[in-house]
Structures are given as C-alpha cells and as structure tokens.
Amino acid sequence: MHRMQAEDRLEQLLKSFTNHDRSALARLITRVENRSPDASAIIERIYPMAGHAHVVGITGAPGAGKSTLVNRLIAEYRAAGKTIAILAIDPSSPFSGGAVLGDRVRMTDHYKDSQVYIRSLASRGSHGGLSRAAREIVKLLDAFGHDVIIIETVGVGQTELSIMDLADTTVVVTVPEGGDSVQVMKAGLNEIADIFVVNKADREGADRVKAELQLNVHLRSGNGWRPPVLMTQAASGEGIAPLLAAIERHRSYLAEHVDEAHEAERRRREFIEIFSAELEDRARRSLNGLGRARMLTGISAGTSNPYREARRMIEDMEALRALLADGREN
C-alpha cells in the first residue's frame, strides 16, 4: 500500500520533471544525492533523455577564481540564449545544498534567471560516493534539457579527477602565483586539460605561467587537440569571450573527431562503475535479511576471514540470487 503511494508520487515527480518543473528537478536531485531507495530507478528512467548537454568542467586550486569565471561564463551563455546548469562541488564546504559557488561570488542576478540552475554538492554527507552522486546529478541536469552544464571542482585528489571524467571539455584554471603550473603538472591536471586558463592575468608573472604551460602543451606528443592557453581576468571580465570561443571550438572538435574506441571504453568503464555501485547498494540493504546472522556475527567480531566469507557468499548461488533479488523488501 505504502509502496504504491510512493510509486505514484515518483511517477508524478517524473512527469513534472519532464514538463520542465524546476522544483521536480530539485527534488529528484535530492533523492539521488541522499541515495533514497528509488534513486537507481530515477536514473534508469531519465537516462534515455540525457546525452544532449555540453558538459564543461572547471577545475583548479582554491581561490584561483573558478567561481568568478563561472559567473562570467553564465552571463555569456545566457547572452547566447543557452540554458545552463552549474554543479559546484566543494569538498571543504560544510553545507549541503545551500552553499553556492563560494561566498565571495554574488550570483543574485542569475538566481532570478529561470534558465540558470545552480546546485552545490558537498562531499561530506553525500552518501554512496561523491563521484557517483556527481555523475547522476549531471545525468538529471542533462535529461532536464540544459544546453550546458558546468561542473566546478577543486583540482586536487583522485575523486576530483574522476569527476572531471564526466566533462566533455575540461578547463584547468591556474594563477600567476609562483609554481602554480608546477602544481598543475603534479596533480595530473595537465593530462586532462582541454583548455588552460591563466586567470588573474592582471597580476605579475602571468606571462611566465602562460609560457610554461605552452611549453608543456608543445612537449605533449600526438597530433590531436592541442590545448590552448588563455589569459583571463575573471574579476573584470577580460578574456571571457575568447574563453567561451575556445570552449565552443573544443565542442566542435569533439563532434568532428568522434573516437569510437575511446567512447566504447568510456561506456564500459561507466557500466562497471554503475554495476558495482548497484551491487554494493543491494548487498548493504539485504545482508541482514539473508539469514546470515551467524556469518555476520563472525565478521563483526573479527573472528572470520572477510575474504573467505565474501567468496563463499558469491559462490553460494542461492545466497547470491537472494542478494540480487533482494533490496526492495527492506
């Protein structure tokens, strides 16, 4: 009875979502972010509607000016008549859902714009992993019909790198401060950059950082896309139009150079991630209900070998079938 009602409500929500109701979008995102029991069903349903947005990743050190840059890009995209969504991922943010693009940037103008959707995701409190949440939220934003989705992340750590895997076009933001280009290389950001930006070009040393990055690009082998190195002053808006033009050039490049092998590999990787995450969800939800109390007692007490128990569980077809079928009742 309860389940029926919940399903009806979900149907209603999905219908509103399809009719471009932004509060339905917000509520579906929250369900996915909190890993509510119907999160997987939601993504499965909206998946076929996604695949049209251009996903742009903006990454770089804290304080590099990413949010200021994003704010400028929003204005450019809006002037071009495009609908845009922002997913700001801030690992240091203690807030969830409320904090937006850092306190320094005032986005009130864009808030009022119904064609701009802004959402932030704090790594703390996001159940089931940050990159999974980011991937699914991007799918929702895409399926909703946004032309452009910008993901802002701090460019440190494996999680952030894996989130940039979601982007079609990755913009790495650096600053003239000493050694920033070296930090970029160390963090592996040079390998994922499609476009380099030296922001705060009003400051001393911007030319040098630009030269270092350009040298790095030239030393890269291959004759595919060569990441341009652009100078911007996000605070004043200088260099934003050329940045947008470069992003659009990269988008066209991607459209003209579809790498089928690369795409196939990316889809396979995505499938394995989805499959493993779904299995893990089910395992967590249903282990207690499997009549495995004794085994779990041994695990909890630290007296049994978790590797052996896991293998036994997988090899015990009956238990595995129960595990795979389960998860809905609980």
Ligand X SMILES: Nc1nc2c(ncn2[C@@H]2O[C@H](COP(=O)(O)OP(=O)(O)O)[C@@H](O)[C@H]2O)c(=O)[nH]1
Chain contacts with Mg ion (rule: CB under 5 A): 66-67, 102
Distance CA 208, CA 212 (A): 6
Element (H, E) at 85: strand 84-90
- Closest contact distance (angstroms) between CB of 196 and ligand X is 15
Q: Which stretch binds ligand X (CB under 6 A): 41-49, 100-108, 161-169, 314-322?
A: 100-108
Concatenating the DSSP letter of every residue in 170-239 gives EEEEE-SSTTHHHHHHHTTHHHH-SEEEE--TTSTTHHHHHHHHHHHHHHS-SSS----EEE-BTTTTBT
Q: Which stretch binds ligand X (CB under 6 A): 57-65, 220-228, 295-303, 313-321?
A: 57-65
- Closest contact distance (angstroms) between CB of 161 and ligand X is 17
HSE at residue 77, side-chain half, CA atoms within 13 A, is: 25
Distances (CA, A) of 125 to 39, 59, 91, 94, 122: 16, 22, 10, 9, 7
Q: Which stretch binds ligand X (CB under 6 A): 195-203, 287-295, 302-310, 311-319?
A: 195-203
Structure tokens given for 164: 């940039």
- Closest contact distance (angstroms) between CB of 66 and Mg ion is 5
189 near ligand X, judged by CB under 6 A: no
- Closest contact distance (angstroms) between CB of 91 and ligand X is 12
Q: What is the DSSP letter of 154?
A: E
Q: Contact 90/154 with Cβ under 8 angstroms?
A: yes
| 233 contact, one of ligand X, Mg ion, none, CB 5-8 Å limit per kind | ligand X
- Closest contact distance (angstroms) between CB of 172 and ligand X is 12
Q: Contact 159/133 with Cβ under 8 angstroms?
A: no
Q: What angle do CA 113, 35, 155 make, to 5 degrees?
A: 65
| 153 contact, one of ligand X, Mg ion, none, CB 5-8 Å limit per kind | none
133 near ligand X, judged by CB under 6 A: no
- Closest contact distance (angstroms) between CB of 156 and ligand X is 12
Q: What angle do CA 57, 250, 89 make, to 5 degrees?
A: 5
292 near ligand X, judged by CB under 6 A: no
- Helix 39-46 with 22-33: angle, nearest 10 deg: 130
State which residue has the least CB distance to Mg ion: 67
With a CB cutoff of 8 Å and minimum separation 6, the contacts of 101 are: 67, 70, 71, 86, 88, 107, 118, 120, 152
Choice between 67 and 126, CB closer to ligand X: 67
Distance CA 209, CA 215 (A): 10
- Closest contact distance (angstroms) between CB of 165 and Mg ion is 20
| 202 contact, one of ligand X, Mg ion, none, CB 5-8 Å limit per kind | ligand X
Choice between 62 and 188, CB closer to ligand X: 62
Q: Which of residues 59-78 bind ligand X (CB under 6 A)?
A: 62-68
204 near ligand X, judged by CB under 6 A: no
The correct pick among 7, 202, 207, 248 for binding ligand X (CB under 6 A) is 202
- Closest contact distance (angstroms) between CB of 121 and ligand X is 15
Q: Which of residues 214-253 bind ligand X (CB under 6 A)?
A: 233-235
Q: Contact 138/107 with Cβ under 8 angstroms?
A: no
At residue 270, what are phi and psi to the nearest 5 degrees?
Answer: -65, -40
Choice between 62 and 125, CB closer to ligand X: 62
Q: Which residues bind ligand X (CB under 6 A)?
A: 62-68, 102, 104-105, 199-200, 202-203, 233-235
